Structure 1
Amino acid sequence: MPADFDDAPLYEPRLWRDNGWTAQVIKNEDDEGWAVAMYKAGESEPALVGPWTMGRDKKNPKPLDVNAFNTLVKTASEVIRRHEQQLHAQLNKTLYVARDGAWLKVTLEIVPAEDDPYAWLRAHDAAGAQLAQVKVGAGFRFSQSAAEAWVDAGFERPSTRD
């Protein structure tokens, strides 16, 4: 995306910008067709790149219009939402341990810091009150047996198993 990106709406046949999104029709490098790239404001990489329809002359791309732009925004937003959900699932794990007739919720939250990634291992009671929290390595092997062992050890910091 060009460095001179701003928030002013722009409606050109191959470039639309509005409401924090930019659609740019580009030559498809893989074949003779066209593609459209969707950029979210402030992002240097496109959130979505997909094929674009040829115009009537079968040589140039079909011009962007409001309906196409709105559909592209909706699709790109969904792609971003799914990516965020996937990342959240990779970084946050939850297991349940039954002890003394009660369920404990044990979570692992990975903090992907560039220099020194780590994770928080936490235990909560059935009411949601935090019982314990320890910092572990980002590579901590979070499993049912590891969660049970941590609870049974009185929430002592587990040995590092990276």
Structure 2
Amino acid sequence: MDDFESGSDQETIRGARLWRDNGWTARVIKNEDDDGWAVAMTPDGQSEPALVGPWTMGRDKKNPKPLDTAAFITLVKTAAEFVRRHEQQLEATLHQHLDISHAGGRVRVTLDIDPDDERPTAILRATTAAGDVLGSASVSPGFKLTRVRANAWAEAGFCADVVG
């Protein structure tokens, strides 16, 4: 099933200010910051919009331009790309790695954060190029993985007690 067919069980709507199709809802709303209009793009199943952006005024310079097929397709592409980039950024924040030189070889040091709302955790791990684990330690989810810290941990023999 491709992205266009991934839709939902929601009814298709194609109105001047409300358009629902292909798993997204576009709603033209009054811009709270000025006299203009905005469009809120909300994925099906979500209560909050993934993206809110400016919307074009109509010819009368009072009311918004009506939504149409071409505009909706462009809005879906833009909102989906925005969501994808946000997910990539979150993934990069939660799963970090860097390579260091240690004992004549390359060692990969990784930091994996589980952002659980009640009990977030993080694991620091060092592995060889062959995948052998040299050390592992629980660290604070706020731990900052830097080359200096990774090298200091390596110099301490990847001991869990010295990370911090």
Hey, what's the Cα distance between the residues in 2 that align with 1:107 and 1:81?
Answer: 23
- Counterparts in 2 of 1:82-121, with a 5 A limit? 82-121=85-124
| 1:158 paired residue number | 161
CA distance in 2, matches of 1:129, 1:8: 52
Q: Which runs of 5+ in 1 are unaligned?
A: none
Match of 2:10 among 7, 11, 26: 7
| Secondary structure at 2:92 match in 1 | helix
Q: Displacement, 1:160?
A: 5.8
Give the alignment's TM-score, normalised by structure 1.
0.86
- Normalized per residue, the structure richer in helix is 2
Partners of 2:99 and 2:108 within 8 A in 1: yes
Q: TM-score, structure 2 length as denominator?
A: 0.85
Structure 2: state its 5+ residue gaps: 1-7
2:30 is matched with: 27
Deviation at 1:133, TM superposition (A): 2.6
Say whether the 8 Å CA contact 2:137–2:163 is kept in structure 1. no
Residue 129 of structure 1, CA deviation: 4.1
Q: Does the 8 Å contact 2:112/2:124 carry over to 1?
A: yes
1:147 equivalent among 142, 145, 150: 150
Q: What is the alpha-carbon distance in structure 1 between the residues aligned to residue 26 and residue 68 of structure 2?
A: 10
Aligned-pair Cα RMSD in Å: 2.0
- Is contact 1:124–1:132 with CA below 8 Å preserved after alignment? yes
Q: Which amino acid aligns with 1:23?
A: A
Q: Percent identity?
A: 57
Against the structure 1 CA distance between its residues 27 and 141, is the aligned structure 2 distance closer, same or farther, given a 3 Å change threshold?
closer
Distance 1:26 1:141 in 2: 41
- Please say if residues 153 and 162 of structure 2, whose CA atoms lie closer than 8 Å, have aligned partners that are also in contact: no
Question: Which of 61, 77, 80 does residue 80 from structure 2 map onto?
Answer: 77
Contact preservation (8 Å) 1:7, 1:19: no
Give the length in aligned residue pairs.
157
Q: Deviations over 1:60-94 (max 9, x none)?
A: 21111111001001111111112112222222221
In structure 2, give the amino acid aligned to 1:32.
D
Conserved in 2, the CA contact under 8 Å of 1:16 and 1:69?
A: yes
Q: Is the 8 A contact 1:150 1:158 kept in 2?
A: no
Partner Cα separation in structure 2 for residue 156 and residue 19 of structure 1 = 51
Q: CA deviation at 1:18?
A: 0.8
Over 3 Å counting, the alpha-carbon distance change for 1:127 and 1:160 in structure 2 is closer
2-structure distance, mates of 1:125, 1:57: 66
Question: Displacement of 1:103 after TM fit?
Answer: 0.3
